[in-house]
């Protein structure tokens, strides 16, 4: 760890940015995340242009999410057994391939929705290994006193790109066509790769012998390591409860994003422009939460803060599902965005600080599984309820379930101890 990071106190504003390695990593992530959001918008536009079917939008989204459900636990084992920096360079390099492929096929007008699904599945598989490594790599770049700040700043980069990326994508599509967004995203990964290459090698990085490599990929050893990580999460009750709440939010709360077009078109009747402001309201709340946490530097009473932010997300989402007023809906989504990011950033920090270094990759893979892996299941469940009871009723039911589970764990969260 560099000397400069030791001199800077955790109480300093945006203290993690004083750490050279994290600062370089963060700048690369800002650029890469912006490209990723550009591709997300362009891919959705392309799929709908080809099919005019919301069903295919859901199928492509599922194709990118299912690999996280299938492979992320293995990704956590790999993150703990290999050098995280080198692993991230590999995943970022592989992530360029789908973007380039989509750009070429789109430019020559030979793209099909089936090919988009295959590419989405490949990228989802890469992400299953990238996310655990990236999350656990934060603690290697900064001291534990700066970890909360680093997680918040990483979230700010993601949510800031969530606001900027789609705007750039819209302008690029209008000026240069859909393929340009894919090419720009491919180039954006170079920023992350260069940043990772500039990060200093750590003392624990070693050269692997052929025998050592065989031991790392041996199936029985992988299963043993995987079981060790799962047992740790199960036995650590505080971590288990946070994971349970994250899973609940991912199953019944967060899927509301998928159904925002229905609210914009049929409930609030504000059209595509209004849809943009609804999504932007949620993003604005999420970005403000990340910046506030990063500015504070550290949340001392993490349990109480998680309780309040989790309940804020649930209550705001419930009010949104019942609202018929556009401005009130935007306000409710702003608070919902603030609540969910405040909860996730604080919970992420607590889990990482409570986990031994040797297990962190595997534990964060479980976090990625309950956060990202169950998302397609949640969208499927809410979608089926929406078909029977209407979209507002489905979102209302989902938010009510989140609220009940949050209340049931409220007392436990308030007494969390690291």
Structure tokens at 27: 């700048």
Structure tokens at 296: 């504070």
Residues of the chain with CATH 1.20.1250.20: 1-201, 216-418
Rg (CA), the chain: 21
3-state DSSP call for residue 252? helix
Query: How much is the pLDDT for 4?
Result: 41
Helices (H), 236-359: 237-252, 260-262, 271-296, 302-322, 326-353
Assigned architecture for domain 216-418 = Up-down Bundle (1.20)
DSSP string across 56-75:
HHHHHHHHHHHHHHHHHHHH
Rounded to 10 degrees, what is the CA torsion of 139, 301, 14, 192? 40
Query: How much is the pLDDT for 352?
Result: 84
Checking phi first, is residue 25 left (phi over 0); if not, alpha (psi -120 to 50) or beta?
alpha
Which one of 1.20.1250.20, 3.40.50.720, 3.40.120.10, 2.40.160.20 gives the CATH number of domain 1-201? 1.20.1250.20
Residues of the chain under the 50 pLDDT cut: 1-8, 10, 203-214
Work out the mean pLDDT of the chain and round it to a whole number: 83
Query: How much is the pLDDT for 213?
Result: 46
CA 194 to chain centre: 22
Structure tokens at 192: 């992350």
Rounded to 10 degrees, what is the CA torsion of 338, 79, 101, 276? 0
Q: Are 329 and 263 in contact (CB under 8 A)?
A: yes
Predicted TM-score (pTM) above 0.85: no
Query: How much is the pLDDT for 350?
Result: 87
Query: How much is the pLDDT for 331?
Result: 95
Query: How much is the pLDDT for 365?
Result: 82
Residue 200 is given by DSSP the state P
Query: How much is the pLDDT for 272?
Result: 62
* Cβ neighbours of residue 35 closer than 8 Å, sequence gap 6 or more: 99, 165, 184, 185, 186, 187, 188, 189
Query: How much is the pLDDT for 12?
Result: 62
CA distance 317 to 379: 15
- Among 330, 319, 338, smallest CA distance to 268 is for 330
């Amino acid at each position: 760890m560099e000397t400069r990071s030791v001199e800077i106190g955790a109480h300093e504003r945006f203290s993690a940015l004083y750490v050279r390695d994290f600062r370089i990593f963060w700048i690369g992530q800002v650029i890469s995340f912006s490209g990723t959001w550009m591709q997300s918008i362009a891919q959705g536009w392309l799929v709908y242009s080809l099919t005019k079917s919301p069903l295919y939008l859901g199928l492509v989204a599922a194709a990118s999410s299912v690999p996280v459900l299938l492979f992320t636990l293995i990704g956590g084992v790999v993150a703990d057994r290999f050098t995280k920096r080198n692993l991230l360079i590999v995943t970022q390099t592989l992530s360029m391939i789908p973007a380039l492929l989509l750009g070429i096929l789109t430019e020559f007008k030979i793209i099909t929705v089936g090919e988009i699904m295959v590419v989405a599945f490949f990228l989802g598989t890469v992400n299953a290994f990238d996310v655990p490594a990236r999350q656990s790599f934060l603690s290697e770049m900064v001291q534990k006193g700066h970890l909360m700040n680093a997680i918040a700043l990483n979230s700010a980069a993601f949510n800031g790109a969530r606001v900027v990326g789609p705007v750039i994508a819209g302008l690029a599509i209008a000026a240069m066509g859909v393929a340009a967004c894919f090419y720009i995203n491919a180039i954006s990964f170079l920023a992350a790769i260069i940043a990772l290459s500039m990060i200093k090698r750590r003392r624990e990085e070693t050269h692997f012998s052929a025998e050592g490599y065989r031991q790392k990929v041996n199936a029985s050893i992988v299963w043993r390591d995987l079981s060790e990580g799962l047992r740790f999460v199960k036995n650590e009750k505080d971590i288990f409860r946070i994971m349970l709440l994250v899973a609940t939010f991912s199953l019944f709360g967060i899927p509301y994003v998928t159904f925002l077009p229905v609210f914009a078109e049929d409930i609030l009747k504000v059209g595509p422009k209004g849809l943009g402001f609804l999504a932007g309201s949620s993003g604005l709340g999420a970005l403000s939460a990340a910046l506030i946490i990063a500015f504070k530097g550290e949340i001392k009473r993490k349990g109480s803060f998680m309780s309040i932010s989790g309940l804020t997300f649930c209550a705001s989402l419930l009010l949104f599902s019942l609202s018929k007023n556009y401005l009130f809906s935007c306000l409710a989504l702003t608070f919902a965005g603030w609540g969910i990011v405040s909860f996730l950033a604080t919970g992420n920090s607590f889990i990482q600080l409570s986990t031994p270094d040797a297990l962190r990759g595997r534990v964060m893979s479980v976090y990625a599984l309950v956060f990202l892996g169950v998302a397609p299941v949640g969208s499927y469940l809410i979608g089926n309820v929406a078909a029977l009871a209407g979209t507002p009723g489905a979102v209302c039911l989902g938010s009510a379930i989140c609220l009940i589970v949050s209340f049931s764990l409220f007392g436990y969260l308030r007494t969390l101890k690291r």
